[in-house]
Structure 1
């Protein structure tokens, strides 16, 4: 079995020897659009995270049997064309629940506790000059008793709800599909969630129901001091509107995802003046060591299952 991994760099320093027993593996750290066609020649199995596999790629490679997506989203492969061509497409899910849930709180605490400010206060040796033992210039607050709203109550949303409840938060949620009515947690409409919650975390996929779900009009509904976190997908929040809101409203924003990744040089977040209200991480929430090990195990299982069928 000839296997090609097109974007190994997205997996960090993961141990790729797990694929050795499955076949002849060719690894590329990155693959540009113009390189994809050449690198697929003769390959029977493709492993891709974000490299796009087009209808033409599939038509040009009749030997291709399986496309393994090393992620949950499948928007980089034309699924209908693959089905018609008899090419199986397998993604992975459930590998990053703990990692993303933990990252949600990491973003939250950086904003809630203003830890970047206090760290810089120490780095600048200002504590050495303090007339008293403490410095509490930037206020911070406790989670207990706060209302936490979750956008999309899937597996990650449910785990975040458990953790938020453990901190003493009152949790509610908004269903982006309108079909989720099975939770024991109170369901509310979006305006209620936005206007009443102290913390809002987004764990939704990007689709027709969620694109620009939070735009200028919705941002104006946020209560003073609200913290809104995006651990779902870029494009759910209108980033230009958010940049304006951060400089004109008493709100805070943490995000691990952007509409276009990697971040563009002229991104509006880079011009936010009230930068203490913003924390951005480079799409790392999914990628704890444990999550990446689990991810690779699931990709290996997908290939083994295919071979054994």
Structure 2
């Protein structure tokens, strides 16, 4: 029977049916695995499933039965891919499971920045609406998405879905390819170099992987090139937008706002620059939830099971 160890199953949350994985062998499910517990939890497993637990040279050398590492997500930053290839250990991630979830969260952040729904909700619940003499509230102006320009960094599956939704809102879409190789969308959307894109867009949305080319891609210099009314969204990967410099630029009013779901360190410290801002109302934060709709997590379990079946 296939020996499978899931090292951090709690990262997939509650209410998810793991049966597609459980039926594939003897599955040992661990809610979490510390660095010190890795060898103990993996044991003689042939298949390891990990979301964020690091699998490096030390672990691969100490686990001779290991044949397949299944990443419970898309990013593989926690795996020593070069050494895995040298050892003949297959590494498979899950692709495409969260496209709709991330795109939806991207627009949830954008609409909060543009519409300020939470502010109006508080206005009504606080009693201010009942105490007033107007049928409406005009003290918090908002803008329409229609006619605005959205610039996408990273036109993969998620970037394309975001572009599709933006078009439905009446937005204009352009994009920047971080690899310089993605020309597949040029017939639909204008492809620009980063400097040109930054000066043109009303909304900048990041959907690229984090790698040496994208790390700190958007910092103070880039943000200062943008319109004063522009907003920045990152539901891609932490570390692509420099967080300290973004906080400073927002406090200065260089750009209008930002919506961030992913962070360089997760969770970040209580003294993080985002928590010390003078104008926190310009920043909408969510705790890396864009990937995690119920449907996306259910699909993820199925993708992991498929990867095991297809590679063992």
Scaled to the shorter chain, the TM-score interval is over 0.9
Q: Is the 8 A contact 1:117 1:276 kept in 2?
A: no
Q: Is the 8 A contact 1:216 1:242 kept in 2?
A: yes
Q: CA deviation at 1:221?
A: 1.1
Q: Which residue of 1 aligns with 2:251?
A: 247
Q: Is the 8 A contact 2:21 2:304 kept in 1?
A: no
Q: CA deviation at 1:80?
A: 2.1
Q: Is the 8 A contact 1:173 1:186 kept in 2?
A: yes
Q: CA deviation at 1:275?
A: 1.7
CA offsets 1:81-106 (integer angstroms, 9 cap, x no match)? 22222221111101111111111100
Tell me if 1:198 matches 2:202: yes
CA offsets 1:281-300 (integer angstroms, 9 cap, x no match)? 11110111111111110100
| Structure 1 stretch displaced more, 259-268 or 113-122 | 113-122
Query: What CA distance in whole angstroms lies between the structure 2 residues aligned with 1:63 and 1:169?
Result: 52
Q: For structure 1, which runs of at least 5 residues remain unmatched after alignment?
A: none
Aligned to 1:161, the other structure's residue is in SS state helix
Q: For structure 2, which runs of at least 5 residues remain unmatched after alignment?
A: none
Tell me if 1:220 matches 2:221: no
Q: How many residues align?
A: 307
Query: What CA distance in whole angstroms lies between the structure 1 residues aligned with 2:107 and 2:199?
Result: 21
State the TM-score, normalizing by the size of structure 1.
Answer: 0.96
Tell me if 1:67 matches 2:69: yes
Query: What CA distance in whole angstroms lies between the structure 1 residues aligned with 2:226 and 2:74?
Result: 30
Q: Is the 8 A contact 2:39 2:63 kept in 1?
A: no
Q: Is the 8 A contact 2:199 2:225 kept in 1?
A: yes
Q: Which residue of 1 aligns with 2:283?
A: 278
Query: What CA distance in whole angstroms lies between the structure 2 residues aligned with 1:55 and 1:104?
Result: 36
Q: Which residue of 2 aligns with 1:83?
A: 85
Q: Which residue of 2 aligns with 1:189?
A: 193
Q: Which residue of 2 aligns with 1:234?
A: 238
Q: CA deviation at 1:78?
A: 1.2
User: What are the within-5 Å matches in structure 2 for residues 49-60 of structure 1?
Assistant: 49-60=51-62
CA offsets 1:239-275 (integer angstroms, 9 cap, x no match)? 1111111111142100110110012111111112222
Query: What CA distance in whole angstroms lies between the structure 2 residues aligned with 1:233 and 1:212?
Result: 11
Query: Which residue of 101, 104, 107 maps to 1:102?
Result: 104
Query: Which residue of 177, 180, 186 maps to 1:178?
Result: 180
| Structure 1 stretch displaced more, 177-186 or 195-204 | 177-186
CA offsets 1:33-76 (integer angstroms, 9 cap, x no match)? 11112111121110000100111111111111211111111221
Q: CA deviation at 1:128?
A: 1.3
Q: Which residue of 2 aligns with 1:289?
A: 294
Q: Is the 8 A contact 1:222 1:251 kept in 2?
A: no
Q: Which residue of 1 aligns with 2:270?
A: 265
Query: What CA distance in whole angstroms lies between the structure 2 residues aligned with 1:210 and 1:80?
Result: 20
Aligned to 2:69, the other structure's residue is in SS state strand
Off by >4 Å, runs of 4+ in structure 1: none
Q: CA deviation at 1:191?
A: 1.8
Q: CA deviation at 1:29?
A: 0.7
Q: Which residue of 1 aligns with 2:159?
A: 157
Query: What CA distance in whole angstroms lies between the structure 1 residues aligned with 2:141 and 2:281?
Result: 12
Query: What CA distance in whole angstroms lies between the structure 2 residues aligned with 1:129 and 1:203?
Result: 44
Q: CA deviation at 1:123?
A: 2.5
CA offsets 1:12-44 (integer angstroms, 9 cap, x no match)? 112122222111111111111111121111211
State the TM-score, normalizing by the size of structure 2.
Answer: 0.96
Aligned to 1:171, the other structure's residue is in SS state strand
CA offsets 1:154-195 (integer angstroms, 9 cap, x no match)? 111111111111111111111111112231211112122111
